[in-house]
Amino acid sequence: MTDFFKGIPAIRYEGPQSKNDFAFRHYDPDEIVMGKRLEDHLRFALAWWHSFAWPGGDPFGGATFERPWFGDTMDLARMKADVAFELFAILGQPYFCFHDADVRPAGDSFSETTRNLEEMVDYIGQKMEAGGPRLLWGTANLFTDRRFMAGAATNPDPDVFAYSAATVKTCMDATLKLGGENYVLWGGREGYETLLNTDLKRERGNAGRFLQMVVEYKHKIGFKGAILVEPKPQEPSKHQYDYDVATVYGFLKEFGLEDEVKMNIEQGHAILAGHSFEHELAMAASLGILGSIDMNRNDYQSGWDTDQFPNNAPEVALAYYEILKAGGFATGGTNFDAKLRRQSLDPADLVLAHVGAMDICARGLKAAAQMLEDGSLEEARKERYKGWDTDTAHAHLAGGLEGCFDYIVENNVSPDARSGRQERLENLINRFV
């Protein structure tokens, strides 16, 4: 037991009228929404990296957090795990996520690094057995160390490709051992800074082969979870290959992986790609590859991935609307890939950031459920497309250009414009959020 969160109570649901900062107002894990417990809908996960490993740096300044577990020893890694499980106990969320580099110190060799990881996996496993949350997903950090500065799977140096593949093997082993429900690949530096020194065709080909190797290994070890790719358009690389959901889907098709890999979609990355979060979710759902979400938000004034905790109810509601409409999460969940502001130094700040985020997601999901149950939005959508339910419309699709030509000419058709009714629908949404 550390004393990091000393004096901070376990957070309970007290209802919207509560004046207690350390309480949930909207997140009652046992509340039944659309026939299912709220906890089972939302499947919250804490991210080890931002909450326990991120030191609070920005491009102009270094660490602000100075946590007592910062440093590269196994003892400190165990202290970090102890603190993590203390926060898990305070929040009571059902899942967490981690990269290898978040939980273990690097060793002097690959073998020592792997041993450190295995030891920490055992340590974390014991804590999970003692009643801690489960593992939503594991992943490999293939972007922080300088050896990955020109990419991991897309590095011009084949040894970096092999080193990355070996690292992913150890991380998939760790994820399997801890009963993880998914394995995530975010292409940290899988992209380029300049085309002048880049063999784009080779890099994309190697990235495709790398992902095939991940899928082959998944089947070999009998990992039953989902393999998820997390799209992001730029940052840290100027241009990243996994730009957005649609781009990644084309990539999966090219390498025959569209039935093997789903998406982990992050709100901030959707914004960076010039989309809304709900666009990316709807796109993935329509392609049958919606897996899991990283729930954060970007600052609309800064142009980078600021990874702030979510606090905008309408945005969150529209995101969960797409998720519920698609049938909800299967193996996925809501991972808070979100960090504090660097001035938020206190342990209480870390707790309250998560309390607020969990509450806003609960509010958003409940609003989304009401919107679905009310049905007006879907009715309006159906009405807009009802022409497509007719035999005449099916004949347009079957008839080719000439069939359409004949139809238009023979019937002297001159279609009129119809209102999209956007304001009416926006007003409708605002009744629920």
In the complex, which residues of this chain contact Ni ion (CB under 5 A)? 266, 294, 305, 337
Dihedral, 66, 68, 69, 70 alpha carbons, nearest 10: 30
102 belongs to the catalytic site:
yes
50 belongs to the catalytic site:
no
Instruction: Work out whether 190 is an interface residue with ligand XLS (CB under 6 A).
Output: no
- From residue 245, alpha-carbon distances to 138, 265, 289, 324, 370 in Å are 21, 8, 9, 19, 27
Q: Which of residues 115-154 bind ligand XLS (CB under 6 A)?
A: 139
| Chosen residue from 230, 242, 278, 322 binding ligand XLS by CB under 6 A | 230
Rank residues 100 and 337 by Cβ distance to Ni ion and give the closer one: 337
Choose, from 41, 50, 99, 279, the residue flagged as catalytic: 99
- C-alpha 43/C-alpha 137 separation (Å) is 12
CB of 326 to ligand XLS, least distance (A): 21
Is 135 within 8 Å of 179 (Cβ atoms)?
Answer: yes
Q: HSE on the CB side for 80, CA within 13 Å?
A: 28
Instruction: Work out whether 337 is an interface residue with ligand XLS (CB under 6 A).
Output: yes
Task: Fill in the per-residue mask, 263 to 282: x = in contact with ligand XLS (CB under 6 A), - = not in contact.
Answer: ---x----------------
| Chosen residue from 294, 315, 322, 359 binding ligand XLS by CB under 6 A | 294
Instruction: Work out whether 27 is an interface residue with ligand XLS (CB under 6 A).
Output: no
Q: Pick from 52, 67, 164: which is nearest to 103 by CA? A: 52
Instruction: Work out whether 102 is an interface residue with ligand XLS (CB under 6 A).
Output: no
CB of 273 to ligand XLS, least distance (A): 12
Nearest-CB residue to ligand XLS?
186
Max intra-chain CA distance, the chain:
82
Taking residue 205's Cβ as centre, other Cβ atoms within 10 Å add up to: 14
Q: Pick from 269, 170, 278, 289: which is nearest to 227 by CA? A: 289
- From residue 341, alpha-carbon distances to 80, 252, 306, 334, 338 in Å are 20, 36, 9, 20, 10
- From residue 123, alpha-carbon distances to 3, 91, 93, 126, 136 in Å are 19, 21, 20, 5, 17
Among Ni ion, ligand XLS, none, what binds residue 139 when CB lies within 5 to 8 Å by partner kind? Answer: ligand XLS
Residue length of the chain = 433
Among Ni ion, ligand XLS, none, what binds residue 77 when CB lies within 5 to 8 Å by partner kind? Answer: none
CB of 305 to ligand XLS, least distance (A): 5
CB of 306 to ligand XLS, least distance (A): 10
CB of 263 to ligand XLS, least distance (A): 12
The secondary structure of 121-175 as a DSSP string is: HHHHHHHHHTT--EEEEEE---SSSGGGTT-STT-SSHHHHHHHHHHHHHHHHHH
CB of 139 to ligand XLS, least distance (A): 5
| Chosen residue from 85, 186, 249, 320 binding ligand XLS by CB under 6 A | 186
Query: What's the DSSP call for residue 116?
Result: H
Is 229 within 8 Å of 185 (Cβ atoms)?
Answer: yes
Number of residues that bind ligand XLS (CB under 6 A): 10
Choose, from 26, 41, 100, 102, the residue flagged as catalytic: 102
Task: Fill in the per-residue mask, 33 to 72: x = in contact with ligand XLS (CB under 6 A), - = not in contact.
Answer: ----------------------------------------
Give the residues lining the site for ligand XLS (CB under 6 A): 99, 139, 184, 186, 230, 232, 266, 294, 305, 337
Which residue numbers are catalytic?
A: 99, 102
